[in-house]
Amino acid sequence: MKNVTELKEQGTQLSIVEVAENLFRQLGFQKTTVADIARELQMSPANVYRFFASKSEINEAVARRLLVEIETAVKDVAKSRGPASKNIHNIIATIETLNAQRFSSDRKLHDLLETAYNEHWPIVAAHIEVIDKALAQVLSAGMAAGEFKKGDAELIAILVRSACVRFCHPRLMVECAQDPEPTIDQMMAFLIGALK
């Protein structure tokens, strides 16, 4: 059981991340300083540094929160009943939709995730593992039900995600938005056909 001090520290850390996210949304993560975050929290920058060793740690914490939102939605889809082919489609569509919504409504937060991907932050590798695991779960269920031919679900999950990278990567999603094809439906029809 956590003691009162640990709970208070976790609460302060969460407050720092929440304030940072709000400032990133307004100013952008590159223009927001630790002093800005401290001022909003009515504490000193030194106090913020008690909880985060650097500004980059705060950047990662905010980006991690955004990625967890995607992961939670993807896990919900992976657990849903119905044909595995529909769930695979819905996982990729969910990722694309959440990234597109963030791009259109919170461009500065989208920029944070784009930077995280482009610079290969460790949290992105962990995020991709979660997505691959969810895809593998759905693929395994589809194989067990006879919907898909038998195979290495973990490897196939990586292949599906790789084939759909233009729908999942924040930067590529934006760059490819001008290209009408392949659509997500076309790509999923191709992949599902290959899996059967």
pLDDT tens string 28-78: 999 999 999 999 999 999 999 999 999 999 999 999 999 999 999 999 999
Residue 6 pLDDT: 66
Are the C-beta atoms of residues 94 and 75 closer than 8 Å to each other? no
Residue 4 pLDDT: 58
Lookup: tokens for 166 = 């233009």
> Mean pLDDT per 10-residue run, the chain (196 residues)?
65 93 96 97 94 96 97 97 95 95 93 96 97 98 96 97 93 83 91 92
Are the C-beta atoms of residues 70 and 127 closer than 8 Å to each other? yes
Are the C-beta atoms of residues 153 and 136 closer than 8 Å to each other? yes
Task: State yes or no: cis peptide before 182, omega within 30 of 0.
Answer: yes
Residue 11 pLDDT: 83
Phi/psi region, residue 43 (left: phi>0; alpha: psi -120 to 50; beta: rest), is beta
Residue 10 pLDDT: 80
Residue 173 pLDDT: 84
Compute the distance between CA of residue 10 and CA of residue 8 in angstroms, rounded to an integer: 5
Residue 41 pLDDT: 94
Spatial neighbors of 99 by CB under 8 A, at least 6 apart, are 70, 110, 113, 168, 170, 173
Is the alpha carbon torsion for 174, 178, 181, 183 positive or negative?
A: positive
Compute the distance between CA of residue 93 and CA of residue 88 in angstroms, rounded to an integer: 9
In the DSSP assignment, the letter for residue 17 is: H
Residue 147 pLDDT: 95
Lookup: tokens for 24 = 């990133």
Domains of the chain: 1-53 (1.10.10.60), 59-195 (1.10.357.10)
What sections of the chain are H helices per DSSP?
4-27, 34-41, 45-51, 55-79, 84-105, 107-118, 122-144, 153-163, 165-168, 170-175, 184-195
Q: What pTM, to 2 d.p., does this model score?
A: 0.90
